[in-house]
Structure 1
């Protein structure tokens, strides 16, 4: 059977604009971007080969054909929504689609998710691919845990709340730490670097270690997770956010040789569209993440 009817997202967008009289308000109600609603309605009009909305006034209203089409479909779309509410396979479940920086997701967030699931069994977290050049226009993501770049402002319409990860500290194996008496000794060590942030070592040495001399950097890694594995293997000393090495600090595989941190002015932020304000699922996840971030910062085991 070949279906000729438009997709549900297109119908949802059209009906929301009809009901609210605004693409912006429809986007807020559907938790998508205004551009996404506009594109969905345009696809519907192209599919139906007619103009369904009059956009010329201060309030968007259906055209004559739009009124006719709305009358034909509104009850049926409402019926589909009611059917889902009644017979949905996971009644009462809510889903949040999240994009998170890979190393933070693997090392910090995922190990904590069983605790979140126990507290919120009705809320399902579904991971989406992380984009390093994120512009927050994707419609397959509800919330992000994104890295703040000091030279980049958050886009308009995005609410960003700091979680953790501004501070970096040196970390290495206990064997290497035994030979470090003062920060200047690091200049004679192999300094493992994150290739996306090659200035981290100079920042820490100058602002936290009081060492003005430029460091000679050692092997580079493009993922924080690989950097941590290399440090555990004794390849050298890394400089990294303490939250990412909590298991290694607890087990003793890594230690922090100097009790000093440098502020990168970056860190990880919980980001959501302003239209998501007041969304119960998003608010519950944000509140839990803030609580976990505070606990994480308080539990860092510094080396003596």
Structure 2
């Protein structure tokens, strides 16, 4: 299928439109693009003629975008970013496969990173570029080939590979517990609780399953990342309900202690997720085939 030329405006015109939407000033656009203001104006006029519609509101000497043009500029911005990322990948690794991967910071640090040397040894031709994302996102708006998500494998337009089910364990610093004895799960409610934003119902679900008591609202302090909630637990600020793989080292060293006999599996899991359009991506194919050999079952938790 050949796309009509009128639907493929020049990059220069699109850059001028995107910059005007972002900078809100024709002079600022001219400075950023190293053009004169008249050249910027001509680029925008060319775009309007090509699209056959008005995009620019011209009031006195000020230029601004129509509402439709603002929405168009937002989509153009995403496309320009993807072009830039693709160009960078080509320039930095023209002869080898490159994979752009979004990772969850804690899972990436504790689970993925220790395993990556094996992948590098097996596939030295593949370069993996990584960036952290705490929340799920739309692949059409982010320059990633794949991502590691936590959830239930229900991401439309994607395919996924199960990496690891999550098992959680209540942990705290020995100093917080002192001489207190934990005889049953409900005794933990006597201690301050630490919550993670990505699992707001975790404590309520855990108490319901382990103690048979509905705890719809469990008070406590909230943290946005596992790295910070781990530090809070280590410094005796409360009890954290932590994925077991994240506190293996701390439990083995005795800096944290478990307040329950064994980890409990949750309903969510970690997945490698990629858009269907990337299914034949060479570097991604190598990576996911390798990851399949690293996924569950896991080694037992150190005691």
Q: TM-score range by the shorter chain?
A: 0.5 to 0.7
Deviations 1:261-304 (A, max 9, x none): 44442222110122333433212222333333325x32322x5x
Alignment of 1:86-101 (within 5 A): 92-101=95-104
Whether the 8 Å contact between 1:165 and 1:243 is mirrored in structure 2 is no
2:286 is aligned with 1:284: yes
The CA deviation at 1:90 is 5.2
Alignment of 1:61-100 (within 5 A): 92-100=95-103
2:23 is aligned with 1:43: no
Distance 1:43-1:181 versus aligned 2 partners, 3 A rule: farther
2:111 is aligned with 1:108: yes
CA–CA distance in structure 1, aligned partners of residues 5 and 190 of structure 2? 58
Alignment of 1:1-304 (within 5 A): 17=1, 42-43=8-9, 92-130=95-133, 132-138=135-141, 140-148=143-151, 153-155=154-156, 157-175=157-175, 176=177, 179-207=181-209, 209-212=210-213, 214=215, 216-294=218-296, 297-301=298-302, 303=303
The CA deviation at 1:133 is 4.6
With normalisation by structure 2, the TM-score equals: 0.63
The CA deviation at 1:132 is 2.0
CA–CA distance in structure 1, aligned partners of residues 134 and 5 of structure 2? 22
With normalisation by structure 1, the TM-score equals: 0.63
Whether the 8 Å contact between 1:128 and 1:141 is mirrored in structure 2 is no
Whether the 8 Å contact between 1:167 and 1:267 is mirrored in structure 2 is no
SS at match of 1:269: strand
Whether the 8 Å contact between 2:244 and 2:263 is mirrored in structure 1 is no
Distance 1:133-1:272 versus aligned 2 partners, 3 A rule: closer
Distance 1:282-1:181 versus aligned 2 partners, 3 A rule: same
CA–CA distance in structure 2, aligned partners of residues 136 and 200 of structure 1? 28
SS at match of 2:222: strand
Query: Structure 2 stretches of 5 or more lacking a match?
Result: 14-45, 52-89
CA–CA distance in structure 2, aligned partners of residues 131 and 190 of structure 1? 25
CA–CA distance in structure 2, aligned partners of residues 123 and 132 of structure 1? 26
RMSD of Structure 2 on Structure 1 (CA):
3.6
SS at match of 2:170: strand
Whether the 8 Å contact between 1:192 and 1:237 is mirrored in structure 2 is yes
| Count of aligned pairs between the two proteins | 230
CA–CA distance in structure 2, aligned partners of residues 139 and 130 of structure 1? 10
Distance 1:168-1:290 versus aligned 2 partners, 3 A rule: farther
CA–CA distance in structure 2, aligned partners of residues 106 and 268 of structure 1? 14
Instruction: State the partner residue of 2:55.
Output: none
SS at match of 1:259: coil
The worse-fitting range, judged by mean Cα deviation, of 186-195 and 164-173 is 164-173
CA–CA distance in structure 1, aligned partners of residues 178 and 165 of structure 2? 23
Deviations 1:54-81 (A, max 9, x none): xxxxxxxxxxxxxxxxxxxxxxxxxxxx
